[in-house]
Amino acid sequence: MKVVGIFMAKHIPLATPTTYSEEMKFIKEAFDRNWVAPLGFNCDAFEQELCGYLGQEQYALATCSGTAALHLAVKLAGVKSGDVVLCSDLTFAATVNPVTYEGGIQVFVDSEPETWNMDPVALERAFEKYPQARVVILVHLYGVPAKLDEIQEVCRRHNAILIEDAAEALGATYRGRHCGTFGQYSVVSFNGNKIITTSGGGMLFARSEADRKKALYWSTQAKEPEMWYEHLDIGYNYRMSNVVAGIGRGQLLHLQEHRDKKEVIYRAYEQGLKDTPLTMNPYPEDTEPNFWLSCATLPEGYPVKPVELITRLKESDIEARCIWKPMHMQPVFAGNDFITAADTPVSSRIFHNGLCLPSDIKMTREDQQRVIDTIKSLL
């Protein structure tokens, strides 16, 4: 805590796990049955229960991380050495790193301002430049659905596989349908700060049982069905623990509650900051975000910069963060191409002018008002 006058100011985090008693019931069962290794009844049930929540026919595989699930999706999509993969530019590196694991080449596609997600116009331009591309990796940034109809149509025209990174968007819907059900392969994450958590972990969704079976094979070290250890392929240790899956089952019971609380936080910022230069992260009317993180941008050229706001908030023991730095600006991808349909890249503008605000569902109204008042005093 930070000392403010004679008082100790309460730390306000960006987003932390919120746990309940239900998780312990499933964890205890794993211990009671001495089944704490990867795979097991909690993993099976978690996969089935999450598929039931999403409401589309698909086949789920619980993994040790969202990145592991993305890697399996990239392999299932058939990405090989030298293949071009068209990727969302404004995202975390974990979205695009698995392309490198398989020897592919990322081409980054700019955002559009209405959702901050992949621009369908820029995606079309990317296909014009790279007609050989057969895989697209799309992100729903900060829980806001991308323009899925338009993105899917571009993919259909170019016979491309869509991998949907819904790591941040579990509980969000596009025209009444859940994110994570649109791609040929889709992924969600249960990292510690996500809308529900298993402490770490992720899940892969495939549209066929054969693909799910292939991903399971790779994720368990590609062992052949022999009495001895036989390997015809390179495998990975990517399966979720039965204990961790128990946490997920308990968390899933509270997913809608978490989503609703996240929206209350967003609305409070929207109202409380309406008379400031800040603008909340946008979303189209035909979508329902999960409001995972409330974000805001300052006008171009505004004298106070987001990094200054973040630093000053930290001095008041309030945690805020920068928007994801676009992939085309990352030194590790300096040699990769970047496609935009705008005069000035949209993803760069969002990064330079935006910040993520505290969005922890345990934050009280008084806590959030303190955040709002602190921001106002700095602006």
Q: Are 86 and 130 in contact (CB under 8 A)?
A: yes
Position 296 confidence tier, pLDDT thresholds 50, 70, 90: very high
Q: Are 250 and 25 in contact (CB under 8 A)?
A: yes
Residue 7 has pLDDT above 80, yes or no: no
Claim to verify: residue 227 and residue 332 sit in the same structural domain? no
Q: Give the predicted TM-score (pTM) of the model.
A: 0.95
What does the block give as tokens for 379? Answer: 């602006």
Q: At 165, which CATH number?
A: 3.40.640.10
Closest CA to 245 of 4, 33, 50, 18: 50
Q: Using the 3D structure, point to which of 225, 252, 279 is the last residue of a domain.
A: 252
Claim to verify: residue 50 and residue 93 sit in the same structural domain? yes
User: Residue 266: inside a domain, yes or no?
Assistant: yes
Q: What's the chain's average pLDDT?
A: 96
What does the block give as tokens for 169? Answer: 């968007």
CB neighbourhood size of 351 (10 A)? 21
Q: At 288, which CATH number?
A: 3.90.1150.10
Q: Which helix (H) or strand (E) holds 203?
A: strand 202-206
Claim to verify: residue 353 and residue 315 sit in the same structural domain? yes
User: Residue 16: inside a domain, yes or no?
Assistant: no
User: For residue 232, what are the contacts with CB-CB under 8 A and spacing of at least 6?
Assistant: 222, 224
pLDDT tens digits, 92-101: 999 999 999 9
CB neighbourhood size of 267 (10 A)? 13
pLDDT tens digits, 28-40: 999 999 999 888 9
Q: Are 130 and 84 in contact (CB under 8 A)?
A: yes
pLDDT tens digits, 189-216: 999 999 999 999 999 999 999 999 999 9
Residue 2 has pLDDT above 80, yes or no: no
User: For residue 84, what are the contacts with CB-CB under 8 A and spacing of at least 6?
Assistant: 104, 105, 107, 130, 132, 133
% of the chain exceeding 70 in pLDDT: 98
Q: Are 372 and 273 in contact (CB under 8 A)?
A: yes
Claim to verify: residue 149 and residue 165 sit in the same structural domain? yes
Q: CA geometry: angle at 277 spanning 272 and 281, to 5°?
A: 70
Q: Using the 3D structure, point to which of 209, 235, 252 is the last residue of a domain.
A: 252
pLDDT tens digits, 116-148: 999 999 999 999 999 999 999 999 999 999 999
Q: Using the 3D structure, point to which of 213, 232, 252 is the last residue of a domain.
A: 252
User: Residue 3: inside a domain, yes or no?
Assistant: no
Residue 233 has pLDDT above 80, yes or no: yes
Closest CA to 348 of 308, 304, 310, 297: 297
Claim to verify: residue 235 and residue 309 sit in the same structural domain? no
What's the full length of the chain, in residues? 379
Claim to verify: residue 41 and residue 102 sit in the same structural domain? yes
Residue 78 has pLDDT above 50, yes or no: yes
Claim to verify: residue 278 and residue 155 sit in the same structural domain? no
Residue 6 has pLDDT above 60, yes or no: no
User: Residue 192: inside a domain, yes or no?
Assistant: yes
Give the CA distances from residue 91 to residues 109, 116, 171, 207, in Å, rounded to whole numbers and listed in that order: 11, 10, 19, 25
- Supply the range of the domain harboring residue 301: 255-378
Task: Using the structure block, give the residue that is written with the tokens 């941008």.
Answer: 297
Distance in angstroms (rounded) separating the CA atoms of residues 213 and 217:
6
Query: What pLDDT score was predicted for residue 1?
Result: 56
Distance in angstroms (rounded) separating the CA atoms of residues 13 and 355:
14
